[in-house]
Amino acid sequence: MEEAQMRSKREMLREIEAAKQEAEKEISAQRNQYQSAIHNLQAELKAEKQVKRELEGIREEKESLEMLVNAQKKRTALEERCIADTGETSYSRLKDQVLASLEEETHKLLRDVERLESRTQKSAATDRLVPPQSSGALRISLLLQEANNISSRWKKIRSSEFGRCGRMSSSNPSWSK
């Protein structure tokens, strides 16, 4: 009987050992599955983080490009405004110079007319052969001649200052006169 008990104990020990090995195999398989699942989840998480980083980089690049586009639009608008202002001021400056030139010519004409009148009065006093009406005709002819000179200068200024696009050229030789 003792032998039978020993055998049954050995048999039980073998069965326990076999069950233990079976349990270890199952636990090992489950551990491998869990580790594999964890590894897969970590890989997915890493991929998602990479995608998020790339999206963030793209978003930042988009924002910087939008800022660049907005800055370019502002710069273009400012340049257009400056060009428009420059064109207006150039035209105003030209207009002022032409008006100043015309006024100067008018004063010059008035001085010439006064000088001629004083001459004609002196010559009329010494020589009564010239009728008094001829000094008025002389004055009119001088005024017409000077008006023609001013008109031709104005045409020269306009033709030399404005090109095809209506912009002023960089040099103005007639302004120095």
Q: What is the mean pLDDT of residues 160-175?
A: 51
Q: pLDDT at residue 39 above 90?
A: yes
Based on the structure, what is the number of domains in the chain?
Answer: 1
> Torsion over CA of 128, 134, 135 and 140, rounded to 10 degrees?
180
Query: What's CA 20's distance to the chain center, in Å?
Result: 81
Structural domain containing residue 117: 2-176
Q: How confident is the model at residue 62 (pLDDT cuts 50, 70, 90)?
A: very high
pTM assigned to the model? 0.37
Q: How confident is the model at residue 83 (pLDDT cuts 50, 70, 90)?
A: confident
Q: pLDDT at residue 124 above 70?
A: no
Any long-range contacts for 153-158 (C-beta under 8 Å, 24+ apart)? 153/101, 153/177, 154/98, 157/94, 157/98
CA 83 – CA 81 distance, rounded (Å): 5
Give the residue, 121 or 36, on which the prediction is more confident: 36
